[in-house]
Chain A
C-alpha cells in the first residue's frame, strides 16, 4: 500500500449529501476482476451525458478541478454497497483524500485499506472549506496527516481527528494482512478453545 503523508492540491467541491456507491461507480462497471482502470467510469452518471460526452456542469470536468486530489463533499458520503470499487475508482481517478461531515461505515474502512485518507469535519469547518474549494484553481489546500492539519488557501488551519491505528497504517503504508499474520499463534489458540466450547 502506498504511504499517505502530505498532500497539496485544489479541492473539488461536490456539495451533495448521501452520495451513494452507485453514484460513485455504477454496478455495470463492477464486472472487472482487477483493481485498476475504474477511474474512467468514476461518477459516470454525473460526469457524462448519454452520448458519452462530458457534462460541463460536473465539477471534475471543469479545467480548474480536473487534477484535484481532494474532494470536499456532503454528509453520509459513500453510503450503499460494500463495493471497494468505489475507493478504487476514486483513487484511480487521482482522488487521494475526501473531506465530509460524515461517511458511511463500510466505505470508510475500505478507503483506508487502500491508502485513501478520509477526514470528518464539523459543519463550521466544512462550510469554510467548501467556500475555499469553490474558488477553483488558485485555491489549493494542504493536508498534513502527521500533524492532523489542513491548511487553507489563505493560511487558515483546520485540525482534524483520526483513529491512531488508521493513521499509523496510512503513514507507513502498512498492509493489515501482514500485521495480522504475525498473530497466528493467538488465532490458533482461539480456534482451539472455540472448537472445544462450540464444536458445530
Chain B
C-alpha cells in the first residue's frame, strides 16, 4: 500500500515537473491571477528579455488595488494610480491576457473574482502576486502569494521553483456557536499560533466548525492564513464546494464537469497521514474576536480588555506591545467595548462577499449609524454589488446611513483615496492592522462584518448582542 498522504501532498505531487537533487521542485502552475500593483515590473522583464507569456489562457488579470470606489466615469484622478492601471491594460493587450477592466461588471478584488468566475478550481495550483492568494485554498487548491520575480517566472514558464511546505492541520471541533463567524475562528487561530506560527507550513482546516462553513466563510478563513505566517491554507473540497462551482462561467461543463467532480472527490487527506504539526481547538471556547494592536495576533474577545505589557515576560514582545499600544493610543486594561471608533470599513478580500454584505446588512437594518462615524461598504466585485442591490441590501445600508461603494480593495490598504488620517480609528473587516496600513497614523481594529456594522451603529466597538 502506498504511503498515506495529505491533501497538500496530493496536489503537490500531481504538479511536479522536475525535481532537483536538493529537493527544490519545478512545480506546474495551473492558474495565475494578475493585478496592477505587482505585475508591471514582471511584464517589463519579459519585454526586456524578449520573452512571451507561455499560457495566456491560464492567466486572468483584474485591476483592483488602485481603483476608485466612487463614481468611475471620469477615470482615475491620481496620476500614479492611473498609470499603473493603464500599464496593466497595455500589458494585457500586448501579451494577450484576458483582463476585467474597471468598467467591466466582473471587475473586483482578484481573490473574489477568481472563485466567482470558476477560475479557481479544486486540485489546481494557483498563484497571484498578492499574499492573500491563500484565499483560493478554500476550494482545495494549492494557492499562494508570490513576489514580482515569481510573477515573471510564472508568466514566462507557467512553473515555479519551490520547496515543499511542512504539513500542519488546524482542527476546530464542535458546532459553531451562533454569534461566532468564520472571521472569529481564524482570528482566534492566529491569536493562538501567532503571526509566525505557520511559517513554512501548508495548513489544512478541518473539524465540524470549519466544515460547516459556507464557501464564503471558508474563503475568509483561508484568506487570513497568511496572517498566521502560513503560505497555503486549504479545505478538502466537498458538496458545498461543488455546489458553489457548478455553472460558473469558467467551471468545467458537461461531461468534463462529471469527470472533474469525480477527481475532486479524491482530494482529501488519507486516514493515517501524518502532519508535522497539529492544533486542536474547541468551537465552544471561541467568542467574537477583535484586535487591539498592530499585528493580527494581537487579538482578544469583544468582552476582553486591552492587555498590559507589564504581564509579558519576553522583552522583545513587551517592547512590541508597548509600541503597539502607543501607536494605537490605548491604555492597558481598557475594556474593548469602551473604544470609540471614527470609521467603519466593510470590505476587502477577507469579507466583501454576498454573505458578508448580508451579515452586515442584517445588523444595519432599521438602525442608524452613530453621529460622526464615517462608513464605507465596499463589495468585493461588480457582480456582488449587483446581487446585493437585487436583494435590496444597498437600500438597507443607505437608509441606515452607510456609504455604499463600487468594488475594489479600498481602505484595506489605502492605495486609492479611501484612507484613515493620522489618529483616526477604524473597525475594519479587512485582514491587516499593521501600522499605517489604512493610512499613515491610522488605527485599525479587525473584526467580522456583523461586528463592524455594530460598531458603526454604537460608535464604539461592541458585541452585536449588545445593540438594542
Interface residues in chain A, defined as those with a beta carbon under 8 Å from any beta carbon in chain B: 15-18, 20, 22-23, 26-28, 30-35, 45, 50, 74-76, 79-84, 87, 102, 104-106, 109-110, 113-114, 163-165, 176-177, 179-181, 183, 186-187, 190-191, 194, 198-200
CA distance A128 to B37 in the complex (A): 39
5 cross-chain pairs, A with B, having the tightest CB-CB distances, nearest first: A110-B147, A200-B252, A31-B80, A33-B40, A84-B147
Q: How far is the CB of B162 from chain A (nearest CB, A)?
A: 9
The yes or no answer to B13 lying at the interface (CB within 8 A) is no
> What separation, in Å, do the CA atoms of A35 and B150 have in the docked complex?
14
A82 touches B440 (CB 8 A): no
Cβ contacts under 8 Å, B121 to chain A = 200
Q: Specify which of A33, A102, A164, A191 is in contact with B199 (CB 8 Å cutoff).
A: A102
**B413 nearest in chain A by CB position:** A27
Residue of A nearest to B54 (CB): A187
In addition to A187-B28, A200-B121, 8 A-B residue pairs with Cβ atoms within 8 Å of each other are A30-B37, A30-B415, A74-B316, A81-B413, A82-B129, A163-B24, A187-B159, A199-B256
- What residues on B are CB-neighbors of A198 within 8 Å? 123, 259-260, 263
Chain B: residues with CB nearer than 8 A to chain A? 17-18, 20, 22, 24, 26, 28, 37-38, 40-41, 44-45, 49, 51, 54, 65-66, 78, 80-81, 83-84, 87, 121, 123, 129-131, 133, 145-150, 152-153, 156-159, 161, 163, 195-196, 199-200, 229, 231, 251-252, 256-257, 259-260, 263, 295, 316-317, 319-320, 323, 413-415, 422, 432, 434-437, 440-441
Cα A28 to Cα B121 with chains together (Å)? 33
CA distance A106 to B257 in the complex (A): 34
Q: Is the CB of B159 within 8 A of A180?
A: yes
For A190, list chain B residues within 8 Å (CB): 17, 28
- Determine if A23 and B435 form an interchain contact, defined as CB atoms under 8 angstroms apart: yes
| Nearest CB of A to B86, in Å | 10
Taking a contact as CB atoms under 8 Å apart, the answer to whether B163 and A82 are in contact is no
Contact in complex: B22, A164 (CB < 8 Å): yes
Assess the A50–B422 pair: CB atoms within 8 A: yes
**A79 contacts B195, CB within 8 Å?**
yes
| Chain A residue contacts of B44, Cβ below 8 A | 33-34
A83 CA to B146 CA, complexed, in Å? 8
Ordered by A's residue number, 9 sampled pairs between the chains whose C-beta atoms are within 8 Å are: A23-B436, A26-B436, A28-B414, A33-B44, A33-B84, A80-B432, A82-B145, A179-B161, A191-B28
Cross-chain contact B83 with A33 (CB below 8 angstroms): yes
Chain B residue at smallest Cβ distance from A20: B434
**Cβ–Cβ < 8 Å partners of A80 in chain B:** 131, 432, 434
Q: Are A27 and B153 in contact (CB under 8 A)?
A: no
CB distance from A70 to the nearest CB of B (A): 20
| Contact assessment for B156 and A27 in the assembled complex, using a CB-CB cutoff below 8 Å | no
A176–B200 CB distance below 8 A:
no
By the criterion CB–CB under 8 Å, are B17 and A105 in contact? no
Report whether B153 and A75 are in contact in the complex, using a CB–CB cutoff of 8 Å: no
Q: Is the CB of B84 within 8 A of A28?
A: no
Most chain B CB within a 10 A radius of its CB, from A31, A165, A176:
A31
Does B414 lie within 8 Å of A27, measured CB to CB? yes
User: CA A79 – CA B230 in complex, angstroms?
Assistant: 10
CA distance A111 to B18 in the complex (A): 23
Q: How far is the CA of A164 from the CA of B21 in the complex (A)?
A: 10
Inter-subunit contact A75/B159 (CB<8 Å): no
Q: Let me know if B229 and A110 touch, CB within 8 A.
A: no
Say yes or no: A163 contacts B22, CB within 8 Å. yes
Shortest CB-to-CB span from A120 to chain B, Å, is 11
Given contacts A102-B199, A198-B260, A198-B263, contact A45 B436 (CB under 8 A): yes
Minimum CB–CB distance from B71 to chain A (whole Å) comes to 21
A127 to B148, CA, bound (A): 33
Contacts of B263 in A (CB 8 A): 198
Within 8 Å by CB of A105, from B152, B200, B436, lies B200
Q: Check if A17 sits within 8 Å of B153, measured CB to CB.
A: no
Partner of A31 from B18, B41, B66 at Cβ < 8 Å: B66
Contacting pair A186 B26 (CB below 8 A): yes
B17 touching A187 by the CB < 8 A rule? yes
- Taking CB as reference atom, which chain A residue is nearest B298? A18
Chain B residues near A45: list those with CB within 8 A.
435-436, 440
Q: How far is the CA of A180 from the CA of B49 in the complex (A)?
A: 14
Contact present for B146 and A183 (CB under 8 Å): no
Residues of chain B lying within 8 A (CB to CB) of residue A179 = 161
- Whether the Cβ atoms of B195 and A82 lie closer than 8 Å is no
Q: Which of B24, B78, B437 has the most CB of A within 10 A?
A: B437
Contact between A110 and B415, CB atoms less than 8 A apart: no
Across-interface contacts of B257 in A (CB, < 8 A):
200
Complex Cα gap A17–B298 (Å):
13
CB neighbours (8 Å) of A177 from chain B are 45, 49, 51, 152-153, 156-157
* A35 in contact with B41 (CB, 8 Å): yes
Asked whether, in the complex, the Cβ of B87 is within 8 Å of the Cβ of A113, the reply is no
Known: A22-B432, A31-B80, A45-B436. A163 touches B163 (CB 8 A): yes
Minimum C-beta distance from B140 to chain A (A): 14
A183 to B156, CA, bound (A): 12
**A50 to B157 alpha-carbon distance, docked (Å):** 44
Query: Which residues from B are CB-within-8-Å of A28?
Result: 414-415, 440
Are the CB atoms of A180 and B26 closer together than 8 Å?
Answer: yes
In the assembled complex, which residues on chain A have CB atoms less than 8 Å from the CB atom of B260? 198, 200
Chain A residues in 8 Å Cβ range of B153: 176-177, 180
Report chain A residues within 8 Å CB of B81.
31
- Which residue of chain A has its CB nearest to the CB of B230? A105
Q: What A residues does B152 contact at CB under 8 A?
A: 177
Separation of A172 and B22 alpha carbons in the complex (Å): 17
Nearest chain A residue, comparing its CB with the CB of B146: A82
Please measure, in the bound complex, the distance between the C-alpha atom of A198 and the C-alpha atom of B31, giving whole angstroms.
14
A102/B196 contact (C-beta < 8 A), A76-B229, A165-B20 known: yes
List, in ascending order, chain A residues with CB within 8 A of B80's CB. Answer: 31-32
Q: Which chain A residue lies CB-closest to B163?
A: A163
| Known interface pairs A18-B196, A79-B196, A187-B28; A34-B150 also in contact (CB < 8 Å) | no
List residues of chain B with CB within 8 A of the CB of A18.
Answer: 195-196, 295, 320
Most buried by A among B18, B24, B163, B436: B436
